[in-house]
Structure 1
Amino acid sequence: MWPDRRIIDLFKTEFPIVLAPMAGVMDAELVIAVAQGGGLGSLPSAMLSAEKAREQVNIIRQRVRAPINMNFFCHKPVDADPAREAKWREQLAPYYREHGLDPSAPVNAANRAPFDAAFCEVVEELKPEVVSFHFGLPEPKLLQRVKATGAAVMSSATTVKEAIWLEENGVDVIIAQGADAGGHRGMFLTENIAEQPGTFSLLPQVVDAVKVPVIAAGGIADGRGIAAAFALGASGVQIGSAYLRCPESKVSPAARVALAQASDESTVITNVMTGRPARGVANRVMREVGPISPHAPAFPHAATALGPLKAAAEKQGKVEFTNLWAGQAVRMGREMPATDLTRALAGAALVRMGALSQS
């Protein structure tokens, strides 16, 4: 009944629905629930240690017999710039004083590491059925080792140029990430945020430009969005924000309230939280310092100085310094078990596509 079965056949899932990997707000529990609902569960691994990744995959394997997608970052590491970070700390100093914190106290470094040989060994050991990358692809030798495990490889493109590059460099699937998508922009051949197209402008152009299956990501949160993506040539969809308020997510109570109250105007693209453009529900520091700040240290170092502020505010039940990554369709999220939501999304899409085919 799906007009394009390439993703279903490649991933061996019941539905062509991929759970977006959302680092910091989910773990194995959400992966398991989506897999039980017939979708592809994705484990965000860029902020995990090798040991934690093994633990999480083992939990998933013990609970469900289904394919797993392990997701990694491929950014080029940038050394911390002490002078720039000092200016950043100075800009954040009033917030430190407001919360009774010392702006000069040492803080923990950001823990977003790019895919490397050590993590490649983890992939070779665990053999996930799918491996996805953000910010491009790893170096060719590492990519060859990943593909040698038998894993299907996919990565995000935010422009047609990036999609063509990904196909030329060996991906099996391209995720067309529109500007309305939540989380970090997958940009790797451009830094121009102003030129980023929305999902339903980007998608058909990517489909026309490449031969591999394309997954649509951004602004899709119900059956209508899924049907629209397939009408524009998608072979599958990647959905994240719709799952944020499911009981299996690790979103805090205060963040759940903020997400539930969000509207179509609530999210912005900002570099304040990590140093790299990402879409999320606007919080106090995004509004007052950004949303785009030329003073934010390069990714991921901007997050370092925000860590103590985030912790202090969250103790008071506030999310003034918490990165609430979410897309423009965040308002359409639902408070229901992720297994049920996955099946509801697929069912509604099939009904919609059936109605369209008969009209």
Structure 2
Amino acid sequence: MPPVAPVRRTAARMAALLVAMLTLGLVTAPVSPASATPPTGRLAAAPGDDDEGGTPALRAKLDAASKGWLEAKAALNRSVTRQKQLNERLVTIDAELTERNAKVGEIAEVAYRTGRMGTAAALLGSTSPEGFMDRAAALETVAAHEDRTLRELITTRDEAIRTRTALDGEVREQRKQVTVMAKRKEQAEQALEEANNRPSASSGSGSSGSGIRGTSTANAKPAKRNSDGSWPAESCSVNDPTPASGCITPRTLHALQQAKAAGFTRYVSCHRPSGSGEHPKGRACDFAAQKSGFGGVASGGDRTYGNNLAAYFVRNADPLAVLYVIWFKQIWLPSSGWKSYSGGNGDPSSDHTNHVHLSVY
């Protein structure tokens, strides 16, 4: 058996030789089929275990506020849809009510004009058994028709009352959800103000960012929703196709695939096993701005790429269930738009100046 020390020295020399060859570009690292791997010489790993900026408490508040806002918005949309259906039904009911009121009015008018005689008088006026039976049958038919007409009128009136009551309930529901959305918006903006060490000027005012100007006009295919328009609960249940490996949620995978289909194919890292943000839950991805991975502060075409990617996620926030987007010291919230987002460690990763962070519901 050969000595152990020479074997170790040989392995060390081989490793050093390989690093030198990689540095000189004499060999290349294998490319992941799911996501482009950055060339050597730049950081190819994820930007950090906990790079979303701010504190765990801040991220928890933003997560709760954005989720609450999206849920209230979905409830509002459902109520608006029900209100539209009820209004359409009420138009039909009112038309039926007008027609049935007219029929009952005709019956009442005939009875008044002819001096409606009682059933006994009508039967006693018969001159033969056959006539008696004919009159009895005719009276039964008239009575049945009048009874049905009156019942239809009453039923239609009751339905109209129920429909109007349901409409009033939808209006109350919409006011409730609008109030919830406003409250969630205020919660998110106050959390950001506290994190940015800026006093709140007024309730829900927030600290506005300058906004991210991108030119992407691509439309994403919507992620799957429940039949009522809400988002189904999802766990970290599908394989992360990025070099980060691990797991992500089906909606996160959908957003990743849609971004790639729109032409945003630079390096991406999604799942991370540690940290307090969305990455360990499989609900977030970091999209590098530079072709070579997570490097320094993006500039020129790299910053344009980041601007366009951020604009793409904002444009498709509803179909992709976007909770928030972070890019270049700013955060986009569905309730508030772009806001200043400080609280990082001052480096390109925590300031999000080298990658776009996406969190989905």
Do they fold alike, i.e. is TM over 0.5?
no
Structure possessing the higher relative contact order (Cα contacts under 8 Å, 6 or more residues apart): 2
TM-score, normalisation: structure 1? 0.22
Q: TM-score, normalised by structure 2?
A: 0.22
Larger radius of gyration: 2
